[in-house]
């Protein structure tokens, strides 16, 4: 910022003026951020006592804060005060140790520090040259993570220390990972089938189990697949809601028989609803027969594969085309951080490359570097590699494994509580740290009555503010989800939650 003048038309360049508006004045930065840090540390200390789900009405914030922006500046303390008094009471506190809904958003001191430094450096590493360290750190962090996950070297980047043929990129969400791989697969299938432009587009078909995250079907829609060609393959209890490879084969063959082109199969390791696991290897074998791209969505459960005892869920991964997993879910890295790996990086960049004049540079032209803009939707990108590197660098593999195991152990403990109480049933096997359970029909209770009882139980529990858990439907049954893993969670929180569930159930069953 240079010197300033509030009369726009009479503005003239004047000598450097210390009283000018300096939004990045280093001492202001230090003062504001130290205040923010103390707020955060205090927040973590007290969040346990706040209602997890706030009791606010739509529009409450508009009623509390000014409807218009202020003309004049205020002390940063005023901003922080409004944050404390108006914003915090309206938050759903995912950082609360009493949060058991959806999947946890795990976090850590190292990750927040990395994200903070990225915000301050404000790097935009679209090309290698636009910030060599940012691109190389992303490559390094992704390669480290392949080692933690024991992914084949074919998913690693080709660097001085690795002979990988693939590569990776850090995106915001799994949806973006699905979208860019769908587009790459779409373009490859169009080329293969001899399409002129889009002429064969209505022949391309994509496949996933009906338990696949809804965002997959949205990503197919965004990428322009015909709604009639998006196959949602039914699953059932016989495969614990995992995709049945035999069914997949039948559906794909039937499509080929009528002249359609199988293009993409999405397999999930740890579905959102019940943590089902699609058999990766078997699916890859079938898809390969049809030349279809296989993507593995391991957004949540992928993190467990850093522990040898969970790694078998990725058996066959060497035969898939891409895999994505989100350290912002279960690897202690704050939003947003989804790692996408592809076995052949060129298959992505062939579809997504742009080459505007103002980004041309020698490094790109040498072919020796990765320009990460060519593996994502947009051009601009945050320096996301820093936080995930800081997590791995600071905590190390052993502690990260301990973190996963601790959460799984707490989920097992909760499962034991449920099993010991014969009013409940466990609906699907627990694979990771999600327990799907419900009050089971007993006596003259019908299935519908049980659904209603479970609905009531969830509502009563969540209204207390002392826990928050979500629901799903599995096989037409209303199911409660209990997801362990919020980063401040300890066994005592799981035990307290169970006590509350147990007592609330008693009042409902009366």
What is the rounded CA–CA span in Å between residue 70 and residue 346?
50
Size of the site for its own copies (CB under 8 A): 198
Which whole-number Å values give the CA distances from 173 to 178, 277, 300, 319, in the listed order? 9, 20, 12, 23
The answer to whether 474 and 240 are in contact (CB under 8 A) is: no
φ and ψ at 261, to 5 degrees? -120, 100
Which one of 358, 365, 444, 510 is in contact with its own copies (CB under 8 A)? 358
Least separation in angstroms between residue 443's CB and its own copies is 27
Please classify residue 409 by burial: count the beta carbons closer than 10 Å to its beta carbon, then call 0-12 exposed, 13-18 middle and 19+ buried. middle
300 is known as an active-site residue: no
Bridge partner list, 209 = 233
| Binding residue (CB under 8 A) for its own copies from 51, 98, 100, 130 | 130
One residue of 155, 293, 300, 395 binding its own copies per CB under 8 A: 395
9 binds its own copies (CB under 8 A): yes
By CB under 8 A, which span of 160-168, 257-265, 314-322, 441-449 interacts with its own copies?
Answer: 160-168
Quick check: 40 binds its own copies (CB under 8 A)?
Answer: yes
- Choose which of 257, 420, 492, 510 interacts with its own copies (CB under 8 A): 492
Ramachandran area for residue 13 (φ above 0: left; ψ -120 to 50: alpha; else beta): beta
SS (H, E, C) 331-344: CCCCCCCEEEEECC
Least Cβ distance, residue 290 to its own copies (angstroms): 21
Structure-block tokens of residue 258: 């009528």
Judged by CB under 8 A, the chain residues 318 through 347 that form the site for its own copies are: 328, 332, 334-336
DSSP one-letter code for 208 = E
Cβ(241)–Cβ(479) below 8 Å:
no
Options 50, 153, 154, 159; binder of its own copies; rule CB under 8 A: 159
Which one of the spans 224-232, 233-241, 242-250, 315-323 is the region binding its own copies (CB under 8 A)? 224-232
Q: Tell me the window of 43-51, 234-242, 290-298, 423-431 that interacts with its own copies (CB under 8 A).
A: 43-51
**Could you say whether residue 490 binds its own copies (CB under 8 A)?**
yes
* Beta carbon nearer to its own copies, 328 or 347: 328
Residue of the chain from 19, 160, 259, 443 that contacts its own copies (CB under 8 A): 160
Q: Tokens standing for 434? A: 């999600």
Handedness of CA 500, 502, 504, 506 (dihedral sign): negative
CB of 419 to its own copies, least distance (A): 14
The one among 85, 246, 355, 442 contacting its own copies by CB under 8 A: 355
* Contact between 59 and its own copies per CB under 8 A: yes
Task: Give yes or no for residue 27 binding its own copies (CB under 8 A).
Answer: yes
Contact 364, 371 (CB under 8 A): yes
CB of 153 or CB of 240, closer to its own copies: 153
Does residue 223 touch its own copies according to CB under 8 A?
yes
- Contact residue for its own copies among 100, 128, 424, 437 (CB under 8 A): 128
In 216-326, DSSP assigns E strands to: 230-233, 261-268, 293-297, 322-325
Distance, CA of 243 to CA of 271 (rounded, Å): 11
How many whole angstroms separate alpha carbon 448 and alpha carbon 454?
10
From the candidates 32, 264, 300, 358, give the one annotated as an active-site residue.
Answer: 358
Task: Give least dist CB 88 to its own copies, A.
Answer: 7
Q: Does 419 bind its own copies (CB under 8 A)?
A: no
Cα separation, 390 vs 318, in Å, equals 28
Interaction of residue 233 with its own copies, rule CB under 8 A = no
DSSP count for the chain of H helices, then E strands: 15, 13
Question: With respect to its own copies, which residue has the nearer C-beta, 124 or 251?
Answer: 124
3 state SS of 473: strand
Q: Which is nearer to its own copies, 284 or 326 (CB)?
A: 326
Classified as helix, coil or strand, 128 is: coil
Q: Is 29 in the site for its own copies (CB under 8 A)?
A: yes
Which lies closer to its own copies via its Cβ, residue 245 or residue 462?
A: 462
What is the C-alpha separation between 98 and 313, in angstroms, rounded? 29
Which of residues 100, 134, 164, 181 is near its own copies by CB under 8 A? 134
Q: Which of 244, 263, 273, 349 binds its own copies (CB under 8 A)?
A: 273
Q: Does 399 bind its own copies (CB under 8 A)?
A: yes
Cβ atoms within 10 Å, residue 22: 14
Asked if residue 19 binds its own copies (CB under 8 A), the reply is no
Task: Return the biggest CA–CA distance within the chain.
Answer: 86
User: Considering only residues 142, 167, 174, 303, which one is a binding residue for its own copies as defined by CB under 8 A?
Assistant: 174
Residues marked as catalytic: 358
């Amino acid at each position: 910022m240079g010197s300033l003048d509030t009369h726009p038309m009479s503005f003239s360049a004047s000598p450097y003026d210390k009283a000018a508006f300096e939004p990045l004045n280093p001492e202001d930065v230090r003062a504001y951020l130290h205040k923010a840090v103390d707020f955060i540390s205090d927040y973590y200390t007290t969040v346990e006592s706040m209602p997890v789900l706030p009791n606010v009405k739509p529009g409450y914030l508009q009623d509390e804060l000014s409807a218009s922006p202020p003309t004049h500046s205020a002390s940063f303390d005023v901003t922080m005060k409004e944050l404390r008094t108006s914003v915090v009471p309206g938050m759903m506190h995912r950082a609360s140790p009493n949060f058991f809904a959806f999947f946890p958003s795990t976090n850590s001191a190292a990750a927040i520090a990395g994200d903070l430094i990225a915000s301050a450096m404000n790097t935009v590493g679209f090309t290698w040259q636009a910030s060599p360290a940012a691109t190389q750190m992303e490559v390094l962090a992704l390669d480290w993570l392949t080692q933690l996950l024991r992914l084949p070297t074919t998913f690693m980047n080709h660097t001085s220390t690795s002979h990988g043929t693939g590569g990776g990129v850090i995106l915001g969400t799994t949806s973006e990972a699905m979208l860019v791989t769908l587009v790459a697969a779409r373009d490859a299938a169009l080329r293969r089938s001899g399409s002129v432009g889009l002429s064969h587009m209505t022949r391309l078909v994509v496949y996933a189990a009906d338990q696949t995250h809804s965002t997959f079907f949205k990503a197919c829609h965004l990428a322009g697949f015909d709604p009639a060609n998006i196959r949602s393959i039914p699953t059932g209890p016989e495969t614990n809601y995992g995709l049945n490879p035999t069914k997949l084969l039948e559906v794909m063959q039937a499509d080929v028989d009528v002249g359609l082109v199988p293009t993409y199969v999405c397999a999930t390791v740890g579905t959102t609803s019940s943590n089902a696991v699609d058999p990766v290897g078997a699916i890859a074998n079938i898809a390969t027969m049809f030349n279809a791209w296989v993507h593995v969505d391991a957004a949540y459960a992928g993190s467990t594969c850093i522990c040898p005892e969970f790694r078998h869920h990725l058996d066959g991964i060497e035969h898939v085309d891409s895999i994505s997993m989100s350290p912002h879910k279960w690897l202690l890295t704050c939003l947003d951080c989804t790692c996408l790996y592809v076995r052949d990086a060129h298959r992505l960049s062939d579809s997504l490359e742009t080459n505007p004049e103002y980004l041309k540079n020698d490094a790109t032209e040498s072919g020796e570097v990765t320009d990460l803009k060519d593996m994502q939707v947009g051009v601009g990108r945050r320096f996301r590699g820093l936080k995930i590197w800081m997590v791995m660098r600071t905590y190390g593999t052993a502690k990260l494994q301990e973190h996963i195991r601790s959460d799984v152990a707490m989920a097992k403990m909760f499962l034991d509580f449920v099993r010991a109480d014969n009013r409940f049933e466990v609906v699907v096997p627990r694979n990771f740290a999600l327990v799907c359970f419900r009050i089971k029909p007993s006596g003259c209770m019908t299935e519908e009555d049980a659904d209603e009882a479970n609905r009531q139980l969830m509502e009563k529990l969540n209204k207390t503010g002392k826990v928050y858990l979500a629901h799903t439907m599995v096989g037409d049954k209303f199911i409660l989800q209990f997801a362990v893993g919020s980063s401040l969670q300890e066994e005592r929180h799981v035990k307290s939650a169970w006590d509350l569930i147990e007592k609330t159930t008693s009042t409902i069953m009366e």
